[in-house]
Structure 1
Amino acid sequence: MPDMRCVGVTVSGLALVTGLCGSSASAGPWARDAGSVFTSFQISAEEAPFDVSVGLWEPETYLSAYAELGLGRSLTLGADIGQGDTSRQAVGFLRYTLSPPDATWQYAVDAGLGARQVGEAEPHRLVRLGASLGRGFGEGGDAWYMPLRHDGGWVNLDITALYDLELEEPILQAEGTTGFSLTDRASLTFSVKAEQWPGSDPLVTGSSSFVFQILDNTHLRLGGRGALAGSNVVGLTLSVWQEF
């Protein structure tokens, strides 16, 4: 999925973090400046490894759009919309950042409303509640715990509950993301996401992405992901991020 004021991130990394922390899967706790806009458009495709190995490439695709608008006073308005082969979902939310802009650790809570439709069934109403925390860090890579040299980065955790008012059951999601700014224009991200959907086993997926700035305010993201538990699918994602 870059967000403002990751304390400790270098100047070159800050612009990228402004969009990354607000990517489609991961909102992050950083408040956007008043009038600042971020958008993300993504397509993903998933398939079982066995089917890929025998040439049966008929992946399940998912299209999504994500947007954030800074309202000022630590408030950010967001929207997350997606459509797959069998389901559609749209959620709007308002995030409030609890920590000061210059705090090392950033904390935020959010709430919103939405709807989800599966097949031709009637849409189900959703209520969203969420919480996020994150921080930025400076350049490094010589320490034993750093996997690569970098010019700064960030780490954040997003926890979201979507309560289905018709089923009277929650959809639970938690995602942790770490990003490293490699140059003024390139970055790497790594994330792990855990999900619990009504009537399904828990699902855990891991993903990594390469992000490259193609224009002043435009980034292209190419990623891969695979299920770690609850499934056996692998997939690819392609995103375009734009800031205004």
Structure 2
Amino acid sequence: MGFIFVIIGLLLAAQQGAAGPWPRERGQVFTAQGGNFLLSDGAQLPVHYDPTFYAEYGLTELMTVGLDYHTADQGRIHTGFAFLSFPLGDTDARDRYAASLGYGARIDEYSPLEWMVRGGFSWGRGLDNGWLAIDTTASYGTVDQSFRPKADFTWGHHLNDRWTVSLQLQTGEGYSDDYYAKISPAISFALNEEYRVSIGAVQGLTGDQGSALKVELWRTHTFGRKELRALFGE
């Protein structure tokens, strides 16, 4: 099964919903939720069911706020962050840069509630009908008292207005002081102007090298002026 997913990864690619260094438009909301299914035999680390929820909102033209929830370590650890991201440098340049700051908590069934801070840095470059991006973060917990880095490397390509393919390499440090790497290929397609489905795979390159089918539902909605006035009293 793992071999099949590697072949799929070479043929396709999968896009993550996060905007990276590109801020959301003012009033635009983006959400992504999903998880892994059809796990290969023995898949536990670094690939498991891994349900996730991610949201972004364009607070201003240059400021994006959001929520990020995910699980780790076979679903034993739950982590959630509220974050703020903003561009660095020229927002019209070919190479884009952004920074982010986050505050959240981690729940571990074997440990007390742990408050966390997270800093991030992103780089991206627009290509003909696609993009390249590197998103890095480092988190610090009040109980763990360790900085744990994470880096995602993404290539994407728009086949047309409806279909997009990309390939992402995800790396980082786990909570057992081990390092992980996994490749996540997929293809996404637009159901309509608001909803998009991403279907692909995730293949562990470390640990037990397990694999799974990955499915996510994305929604992008832009509030109109009347809706913004109702929210902010403008």
TM-score, with normalisation over the residues of structure 1? 0.77
Residues 170, 198 of structure 1: 8 Å contact kept: no
Matched residue, 1:70? 58
- Match of residue 81, structure 1, among 63, 69, 80: 69
TM-score, with normalisation over the residues of structure 2? 0.80
2:153 aligned with 1:176: yes
Residues 124, 166 of structure 1: 8 Å contact kept: yes
Deviation at 1:83, TM superposition (A): 4.2
Deviation at 1:82, TM superposition (A): 2.4
Q: In 2 relative to 1, CA 96–51 (structure 1 residues): closer, same or farther, beyond 3 Å?
A: closer
Matched residue, 2:107? 117
Equivalences, count: 202
Rounded Cα–Cα distance in structure 2 between residues aligned with 1:46 and 1:98: 40
Matched residue, 2:4? none
> What SS does the aligned partner of 1:94 have?
strand
Deviation at 1:72, TM superposition (A): 1.4
Question: In percent, how many aligned pairs have the same letter?
Answer: 27
Matched residue, 1:128? 118
Deviation at 1:205, TM superposition (A): 0.7
Deviation at 1:120, TM superposition (A): 5.2
Q: Which contiguous aligned blocks of 4+ residues in structure 1 show a shift greater than 6 angstroms?
A: none
- Counterpart amino acid of residue 126 in structure 2: G
Deviation at 1:43, TM superposition (A): 1.6
Q: In 2 relative to 1, CA 32–50 (structure 1 residues): closer, same or farther, beyond 3 Å?
A: closer
Rounded Cα–Cα distance in structure 2 between residues aligned with 1:198 and 1:51: 20
Rounded Cα–Cα distance in structure 2 between residues aligned with 1:46 and 1:118: 25
Taking only aligned residues, the RMSD between alpha carbons, in angstroms, comes to 2.0
Q: In 2 relative to 1, CA 200–97 (structure 1 residues): closer, same or farther, beyond 3 Å?
A: same
Matched residue, 1:224? 201
Rounded Cα–Cα distance in structure 1 between residues aligned with 2:100 and 2:42: 40
Gaps of 5+ in 1: 1-19, 53-58, 139-151
- Counterpart amino acid of residue 146 in structure 2: E
Matched residue, 1:160? 137
